[in-house]
Structure 1
């Protein structure tokens, strides 16, 4: 099979649903970098991220028939699978036990955390999402980054930012509405 250099989204979806290996190869070649960056922001470990990405591509392959174009773009569906898989992975009992047994310096380089997050955001940015996020109010941008890139729940965000849960929910909703409007301009 010869490599495919560009596939329209509708064609890619059809190929995926038909379990065509070219679709899988295309997805991996064109999306794995962005998905890896997102997963790494959530799990903060290359070893764990490799496992998460493997699980993500298996889920995409096995669940391609559940994708519904009426509910959103393929990329959005894939991003949600990645985010949810990474969060589920981090909340799993085995990973939680393993993290408890690690010393902090081996797991998180606290001094380089800001630089690390910036690097990951840059690796995801080839899709242009950083530009979109930069158009949001700073308080909304922070919530979206914490929820979607760092894997915090709304309750955890409320505690971390010391703001009421209702405020987090309202701001997140408003941010998502605004993101939807901004993304319409990018079409």
Structure 2
């Protein structure tokens, strides 16, 4: 599992965009390792690569944790302006997704935006866009393939 430790950290960091959330990195990482350990039996090599399965588990654990944080803050009735002032300001480290999105069809763009930016599950995307869940997975797969074939380099 240590061979994937850096990858797990990268997925967590990518999904924790503000400094407030990033202070929970270690807790999220521990939860991810536990989930991976407890759900490794559900991995099916015929459905995809291990790294893709791993990234999905980590992504959704991170998203679930963030949702829990939001619910906790709502319950504590903390003023949103306090949290907003403690977010990391936009910097040159943010990735410009426009050149990447130009490679995709309008439908693929919608699916990618809902999946990666709004953190929706494929089932939620299918309901929102009125398409089958398989169509969501197909659009994600085709979009990833286009991006990979274009060999897009991230500009930092």
Q: Mark yes or no: TM-score above 0.5.
A: yes
Higher deviation after alignment, 35-44 or 61-70: 35-44
Does 1:77 pair with 2:45? no
Matched, 1:59 2:23: no
TM-score, normalization: structure 2? 0.62
| 2:93 corresponds to 1:119 | yes
2:154 maps to none
Alpha-carbon separation, structure 1, partners of 2:81 and 2:121: 25
- Comparing 166-175 and 63-72, the one that deviates more: 166-175
RMSD of aligned residue pairs (Cα, Å):
4.4
Does residue 27 of structure 2 align to residue 27 of structure 1? no
Match of 1:98 in 2: 73
1:108 & 1:169 partners in 2: Cα distance? 36
Higher helix share: 1
> 1:161 matched to which residue of 2?
none
Moved over 6 A (4+): 110-113, 129-132, 154-158, 168-171
**Once the 2 structures are TM-superposed, how far is the Cα of residue 121 of structure 1 from its aligned partner?**
4.8
Give 1:145 deviation, angstroms.
Answer: 3.6
Corresponding residue for residue 46 of structure 1: 22
Shift of 1:40: 0.7
Show structure 2 runs of 5+ residues with no match.
151-156
Instruction: Name which of 103, 112, 127 aligns with 1:135.
Output: 103
Measured after TM superposition, the shift of residue 178 of structure 1 is 1.9
With over 3 angstroms needed to count, the CA separation of the structure-2 counterparts of 1:77 and 1:172, relative to structure 1, is: same
Unaligned runs of 5+ in 1: 1-23, 123-128, 159-163
What displacement does 1:97 show?
2.6
Residues 148/134 of structure 1: CA separation in 2 closer, same or farther (3 Å cut): same
> Which of residues 145, 148, 162 in structure 1 aligns to 2:116?
148
Task: Choose which of 120, 142, 154 in structure 2 pairs with 1:178.
Answer: 142
CA contact (8 A) 1:39 1:49 kept: no
Give a deviation string over 1:79-123, Cα, whole Å, max 9, x none: 21122212322334x75032453322332359966x26x73658x
* 1:43–1:86 Cα contact (<8 Å) kept: no
In 2: Cα distance, 1:68 partner to 1:182 partner: 24
TM-score, normalising length: structure 1 = 0.54
